[in-house]
Structure 1
Amino acid sequence: MWVEIVCGLVIYKLFRRFFYGDDDILDVETTDSNALFSVAARLEKLYGGKVYTGLRIPDADTGQLQNIDMVLVTKGGEAVVICVQNLSGFFSINADGSWVSTSGHNLKTEHHPDPVAEVKRQVAILKYYIEGRGNTTVPEGYLSCKVICPNPNFRSAIRSDYFPPEVVTYEQWIQLKPELKSTFSGWIKGAFLDGNKEMQESIQKLNFVLSTARTWDRLELKGKKYLLGEFLGFKGKQDDVLSLKAIKRSKVSRLIFQKMSLFGIDLSKLEVGIVLETAERNGFHLRLEGSNVRSNTLGLFQLQNSTKSGKFKLSSVVSMSLSA
């Protein structure tokens, strides 16, 4: 039996190296990032407007960047800071607000910091940031917050309504419908100002601040998988790296990777299209001619909240977005 297992592992590694080479980014669990973008897509579908994901907002108190999972801004100008907790297991709440989970056959117990307290702190940081960049005053209570638990393996050891009102458990999450907004009552505090013209100007100002805020770089992998982190550079043949040298985050917002045509063209090459930052933020994409590089050219990517960098082959990537 052990001989079969070892042979299977050897065959798998040979198969993987043949098709993917040095691409070790495929070993990374993308579940948390996928959950983030899945929640964002559903919120936009339910409530309209725009969801800004993977924000990195300067914290004046610590001098560091604060991660914010997402901010929902609806068409009506409502703004909600959202923390996504992709957790599984049976959960209860301690007296200090921290969460306790029990999972696995051995009933492993884990303690988690109070996510409600954390997202409320993020609200305060974002409010200060918007006021500084938007040259406006954000009314107290305008920015509300929610903690969403979208994992189907999230189980409440207590009744869902025993969680703080800011928490949306999995049972509540799957029951949300556009016409049933009562579950989310208390999110909306109205726009900055009364009056349609002033309200629209305030919404535009808010969207501008959020759309130009720093974010994590984003990889979209084949199979609709996502990763957040920081792009570090390219690695490969000298001519390929030189042809990609002009790609800088100060000039480029998004890269598109496409296999070249089957007819008469070397399939070992990829076409890398470039989207200008200013064009994308004005609501349209300007596709440049880009460069043709070998598909086994590598990119280096440091994952969010990690000190380890991973490699990915350009052939495994659909697109990459870079934050200015």
Structure 2
Amino acid sequence: MWVEIVCGLVIYKLFRRFFYGDDDILDVETTDSNALFSVAARLEKLYGGKVYTGLRIPDADTGQLQNIDMVLVTKGGEAVVICVQNLSGFFSINADGSWVSTSGHNLKTEHHPDPVAEVKRQVAILKYYIEGRGNTTVPEGYLSCKVICPNPNFRSAIRSDYFPPEVVTYEQWIQLKPELKSTFSGWIKGAFLGGKKEMQESIQKLNFVLSTAPTWDRLELKGNKYLLGEFLDFKGKQDDVLSLKAIKRSKISRLIIQKTSMFGIAHSKLQVLYCSRDYRNEGASASDWKEVTVRSNTEVLFQLQNSTKSRKFKLSSVVSMSLSA
């Protein structure tokens, strides 16, 4: 019996090491960031255009970076600042706009700051940033905002329509359809003031400002797990680290990992593809990508969003990494 148990543990460790590396990605908590990217993907599918995720916009009043979950810019020129509240439990609203949740068998009560007030503050910060970067005036009311609650365990202790109009409850979220744009934002301002040509130019300018805005770095792990945070460095054998020396955020925007050998787990090699940062083109052609081969146990040192601790992830566990400028 003990022989079977030991053999089972060895096989499990080999399986885990081969497919995930030696780090603890199976235990990494990515629920909130996965919800973020899931919402972004559905919004792009529903309304077209582009969703900019994990923004860090400079706040002139505080001198700090303001986290903005995402901004949706539709093909029609709508711009919506979106806060994703991946909360679970039964929710009600206090008179001051804060939320109260009750969850668990012991009916634990928690208080949450007013997310609508917070996302409206983000709208003001983003408006000021766009005007400064785009050298233009953003019409008052052009930037709308929404708070989306995509967690299926989100339950309302009151009727959904009793929430502020900026809030999209889970029931409303799953019922959204492309033709029901009025449910989501209600109007299309036609981008900035002017004719069709001016409108298109304004949309292009807005997309450029948002695409070059500071963001969190993004790490995609095996198992469809996403992390937001800050890439710090590579760790490993000296020759591998030197091979990766060219990958710096000032020069590189994205890298992807491909396995070059399916055998020899301890000595397997990985193919790292990376492309130079170029704001002129949204995508990179095949000729733009460069290649370097390193040991699979080479690690990425990554500090998670809202955390003071850094974590190491083996490149064998990484699918891709996107770096902010």
Question: Fold-level match, TM-score > 0.5?
Answer: yes
The alpha-carbon distance between structure 1 residues 156 and 198, as it changes in their structure 2 partners (threshold 3 A), is same
TM-score (norm 1): 0.88
**Structure 1 position 188, deviation (Å):** 3.3
State the distance in 2 between where 1:2 and 1:89 align: 44
Do 1:229 and 1:303's aligned partners in 2 also have CA atoms closer than 8 Å?
yes
**Structure 1 position 191, deviation (Å):** 1.2
Do 2:262 and 2:268's aligned partners in 1 also have CA atoms closer than 8 Å?
no
Do 1:217 and 1:322's aligned partners in 2 also have CA atoms closer than 8 Å?
yes
State the distance in 2 between where 1:11 and 1:35 align: 32
Q: Are residue 38 (structure 1) and residue 38 (structure 2) matched?
A: yes
Classify the secondary structure of the residue corresponding to 2:253: strand
Percent same amino acid among aligned pairs? Answer: 93
State the distance in 2 between where 1:258 and 1:157 align: 48
**Structure 1 position 89, deviation (Å):** 0.5
Indicate the larger mover: 7-16 or 255-264: 7-16
Which runs of 5 or more structure 2 residues have no equivalent in the other structure?
A: 273-281
The alpha-carbon distance between structure 1 residues 33 and 280, as it changes in their structure 2 partners (threshold 3 A), is farther
TM-score (norm 2): 0.88
Residues 230-255 of structure 1, C-alpha deviations (whole Å, 9 max, x = no match): 01111111111111111100000001
Between the two proteins, the alignment pairs up a number of residues equal to: 312
The alpha-carbon distance between structure 1 residues 110 and 5, as it changes in their structure 2 partners (threshold 3 A), is farther
Q: Are residue 92 (structure 1) and residue 97 (structure 2) matched?
A: no
Classify the secondary structure of the residue corresponding to 1:248: coil
**Structure 1 position 27, deviation (Å):** 2.3
Which runs of 5 or more structure 1 residues have no equivalent in the other structure?
A: 283-290
Do 1:229 and 1:301's aligned partners in 2 also have CA atoms closer than 8 Å?
yes
Indicate the larger mover: 130-139 or 3-12: 3-12
The alpha-carbon distance between structure 1 residues 8 and 294, as it changes in their structure 2 partners (threshold 3 A), is closer
Do 1:260 and 1:267's aligned partners in 2 also have CA atoms closer than 8 Å?
no
Do 2:16 and 2:22's aligned partners in 1 also have CA atoms closer than 8 Å?
no
**Structure 1 position 184, deviation (Å):** 1.8
Do 1:90 and 1:156's aligned partners in 2 also have CA atoms closer than 8 Å?
yes
The alpha-carbon distance between structure 1 residues 262 and 313, as it changes in their structure 2 partners (threshold 3 A), is closer
CA RMSD of superposed structures (Å): 3.3
Instruction: State the match for 1:48 in structure 2.
Output: 48
State the distance in 2 between where 1:278 and 1:248 align: 18
State the distance in 2 between where 1:206 and 1:314 align: 35
Indicate the larger mover: 104-113 or 24-33: 24-33
The alpha-carbon distance between structure 1 residues 238 and 96, as it changes in their structure 2 partners (threshold 3 A), is same
Classify the secondary structure of the residue corresponding to 1:33: helix
Do 1:260 and 1:266's aligned partners in 2 also have CA atoms closer than 8 Å?
no
Indicate the larger mover: 136-145 or 15-24: 15-24
The alpha-carbon distance between structure 1 residues 133 and 63, as it changes in their structure 2 partners (threshold 3 A), is same
Do 2:21 and 2:317's aligned partners in 1 also have CA atoms closer than 8 Å?
no
**Structure 1 position 53, deviation (Å):** 0.3
The alpha-carbon distance between structure 1 residues 160 and 175, as it changes in their structure 2 partners (threshold 3 A), is same
